[in-house]
């Protein structure tokens, strides 16, 4: 990378195995501690503990968070970085964020790539944030590594961040709201939003989720999330749309389709102001569900929710 470092630096760090993770991240975190820069590390618990041990007493200066918990829904990761930067406004800050691990499903990988791309939209003109995203080439699928290369302006080579020639800037990359979702199965139960009361739609979702084996409190969360989506359809798409639910052995799904249009790529990832009700529903939905997929297509909006049965 030539010239002065940019205020926002989003770097992909490719590594192999846990030892490689420590080798790539340890100098970056040590430099932050030495410079008295706030640093947040979000990765799995085992890697976080290993990195903390290698800091030889310096771990108290680092904020550690479990990515596999807080970042289970990739749409919830960006708000954590925003909150971290805001808490230290006016100061250079650093972060290590590992959003992808081998157990991620193909749907989750797609949302992780969207998350990484949206970071470049959210922080492009912000105060100094140096964010390193490690990717394990020994365990991750090839398409996950390809996604990392598409979404990071810089690559870590040795101890230096260099320009990534495979990076697709926001103006060149496909919209994060594009991309068809796999169709719902023929067994999905579908109701018309315009022909049902909100309370009946909530009950419909909760009953289907309970029948699939979802715990009671999570049935309520899914019903509330569906309520927020349907409310958006009523407000912004004349109340015309459909609500579908289905399940598989691992998860319960709920999907709302309508003829509306979403123009803001960061919708649901930025906490709305107290006086701004737009986007609040999708913010709530993202923090209730295990996975949220938002698409705005020429035919209208599609928002798909997933709640997993193993939690």
Q: Are 51 and 41 in contact (CB under 8 A)?
A: yes
Confidence of residue 279 (pLDDT cuts 50, 70, 90): low
**Which residues make beta-bridge pairs with 11?**
132, 154
Q: Are 170 and 117 in contact (CB under 8 A)?
A: yes
Q: How far apart are CA 151 and CA 197, in angstroms?
A: 42
3-state secondary structure 8-69: EEEEEEEECHHHHHHHHHHHHHHHHHHCCCCEEEEECHHHHHHHHHHCCCHHHHEEEEEHHH
The residues near 203 (Cβ < 8 Å, ≥ 6 apart) are: 223
Average pLDDT over residues 116-135: 90
Q: Is the pLDDT of residue 126 over 80?
A: no
| Higher per-residue confidence, 22 vs 7 | 22
CATH number for region 8-163: 3.40.50.300
Specify the pTM: 0.94
Q: What is the pLDDT of residue 269?
A: 93
In the sheet that 251-258 helps form, which strands lie side by side, from edge to edge?
A: 189-192, 241-247, 251-258, 300-308, 291-297
What are the backbone angles phi and psi of residue 196, rounded to the nearest 5°? -135, 150
Question: How many other CB atoms sit within 10 Å of the CB of residue 182?
Answer: 9
Q: What is the pLDDT of residue 2?
A: 40
Q: What is the DSSP letter of 126?
A: S
Q: What is the pLDDT of residue 274?
A: 73
Q: What is the pLDDT of residue 116?
A: 98
Whole-number average pLDDT of the chain: 94
pLDDT digits (tens, 9 = 90+) for 159-170: 899 999 999 998
Confidence of residue 310 (pLDDT cuts 50, 70, 90): confident
Domain ranges in the chain? 8-163, 189-308
Q: How far apart are CA 168 and CA 159, in angstroms?
A: 23
pLDDT digits (tens, 9 = 90+) for 27-48: 999 999 999 999 999 999 999 9
CATH number for region 189-308: 3.30.565.10
Cα dihedral across residues 44, 10, 78, 148: positive or negative: negative
Distance of CA 171 to the CA centre of its chain: 20
């Amino acid at each position: 990378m030539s010239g002065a470092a940019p205020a926002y630096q989003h770097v992909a760090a490719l590594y192999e195995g846990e030892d490689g993770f420590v080798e790539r991240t340890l100098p970056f975190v040590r430099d932050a501690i030495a410079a008295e820069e706030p640093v947040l590390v979000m990765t799995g618990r085992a890697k976080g503990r290993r990195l903390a041990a290698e800091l030889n007493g310096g771990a108290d200066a680092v904020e550690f968070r479990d990515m596999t918990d807080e970042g289970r829904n990739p749409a919830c990761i960006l708000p954590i970085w925003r909150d971290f930067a805001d808490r230290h406004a006016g100061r250079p800050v650093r972060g290590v964020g590992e959003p992808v691990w081998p157990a991620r499903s193909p749907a989750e990988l797609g949302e992780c790539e969207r998350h990484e791309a949206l970071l470049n939209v959210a922080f492009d003109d912000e105060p100094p944030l140096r964010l390193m995203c490690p990717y394990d080439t020994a365990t991750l699928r090839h398409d996950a590594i390809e996604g990392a290369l598409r979404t990071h302006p810089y690559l870590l080579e040795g101890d230096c961040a260099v320009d990534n020639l495979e990076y697709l800037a926001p103006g060149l990359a496909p919209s994060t709201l594009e991309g068809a979702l796999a169709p719902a199965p023929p067994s999905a139960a579908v109701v018309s939003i315009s022909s049902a009361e909100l309370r009946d739609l909530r009950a419909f979702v909760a009953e289907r989720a309970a029948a699939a084996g979802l715990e009671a409190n999570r049935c309520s969360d899914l019903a509330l999330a569906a309520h927020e989506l349907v409310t958006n359809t009523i407000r912004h798409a004349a109340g015309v749309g459909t609500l579908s639910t289905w399940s598989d052995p691992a998860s319960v799904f709920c999907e709302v389709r309508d003829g509306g249009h979403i123009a803001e790529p960061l919708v649901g990832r930025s906490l709305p102001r107290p006086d701004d009700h737009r986007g609040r529903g999708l913010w709530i939905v993202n923090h209730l569900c295990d996975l949220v997929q938002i698409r705005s297509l020429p035919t209208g909006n599609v928002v798909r929710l997933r709640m997993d049965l193993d939690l």
